[in-house]
Amino acid sequence: MASSGEAPRSGSPGRAGTGTEPSSTLDGAQLDMAEDFEVLEEEEEEEDLSELPPLEDVGRPLAPPREDTQPSEQDPQEWLDVLGSGLLKKKTLVPGQGVDTRPRKGQDVTVRLKATLEDGSVVEDNPALTFTLGDCDVLQALDLCVQLLEMGETALIMSDAKYCYGAQGRSPDVPPNAAITLEVELLAARDAPDLELLSGKEKIELANRKRERGNFFYQQADYVLAINSYDIALKVIGSSSKVHFSPDEEAELLDVKVKCLNNLAASQLKLDHYEAALKSCNLVLEHQPGNIKALFRKGKVLAQQGEYREAIPILKAALKLEPSNKTIHAELSKLVKKHADQKNVETEMYRKMLGNPTAAGTPGKCKDKLPWSIPWKWLFGATAIALGGVALSVVIAARN
């Protein structure tokens, strides 16, 4: 992964992220401050996800510019409506070297970037920002529009907050729902380094950058893009290598992988993707059977699916690892009650299906009370009388 030579500050358009990951066990304070055992520290309250930006792609045909959405001070014909919605527009200030020089997804690009608010406040000024195109390493507005730049081109990009910092903004300089204007010049584009040739240290750094970007999206409540970043990090970790790694590097790569899988499961749970979250938890437990986060989330997934009988022993195992954890205590108590209620409902249902078992008597007694049943004593007497009559008839016939 190419680098610009200096780390961008947290929350900037270039590789912003939290850069933090809690250990495999969380104390009660960390758990209580979030919605049921969250993975990221200092998490804000949940926001409504209905207005989160989708994972856009500029590969589809572009709609013609809409005059009613263009800035009044500019000629509408000079602006390109990138997504056809009027929320993301691009205008060329300095022409580039031709369409053939446009960068491709997956390449490492370097741009000069200046970002300003509507009042003219500069919130970003980077002379050489480097990122992987198409990996959502930067603001969506920048990631989408750089794909349309020619080498050497300087362009003005006007973006709605949806494709920048959204409803959350960026403290302290970008307010919520702030539109951003970006001035961008494409300086260089080159193929990303071969993952097979990365050293252990380089692979760890690259995977951590993608993971931290996922953490940034998670804190922005953009769980779709968070999942995308965690998936990219896992792809980096899981790629084959032609370079020998030391035992320490192998251990560190495994640690990053477990963090990504745990964060991935947290994001999938937020979107109610239960089967995917269960798979992520199981992958963690394959490497670390005692990972308390994975145990807790697996129990939650099974509970959401109504599998209380399977969820309860998993939560008990998590509680055994951390007996003082109030969140696990609360979740386990809730599941035990739900499981008891479920069993009561099933018992009542079976009772109604089978009827009242005390209403039916023994089969023998029922048969004795049948109106057509014949007492055996009467039957024996009748048989004896009949045989006696037959014998008398034979004697009389013999005398005649």
pLDDT score of 41: 40
Does the global pTM surpass 0.85? no
Average pLDDT over residues 350-367: 56
- Residues 111 and 125: beta-carbon distance below 8 Å: no
Average pLDDT over residues 78-95: 94
For residue 130, give the nearest of 114, 145, 110 by alpha carbon: 110
Confidence of residue 381 (pLDDT cuts 50, 70, 90): low
Q: Is residue 389 part of a domain?
A: no
What's the structural domain count of the chain? 1
pLDDT score of 3: 41
State the Cα–Cα distance between residues 82 and 300, nearest whole angstrom: 41
Domain enclosing residue 103, as ranges: 75-192
State the Cα–Cα distance between residues 395 and 64, nearest whole angstrom: 125
Q: Is residue 381 part of a domain?
A: no
Q: Is residue 331 part of a domain?
A: no
Residue 98 sits in a domain of what CATH number? 3.10.50.40
Average pLDDT over residues 88-93: 95
Q: Is the pLDDT of residue 1 over 50?
A: no
Average model confidence (pLDDT) across the chain: 78
Q: Is residue 1 part of a domain?
A: no
Long-range CB contact pairs, 26-29, < 8 A, 24+: 26/292, 26/293, 26/325, 28/324, 28/325, 28/326, 28/327
Q: Is residue 171 part of a domain?
A: yes
Burial label for 298, CB within 10 Å (0-12, 13-18, 19+), is buried
Average pLDDT over residues 43-63: 42
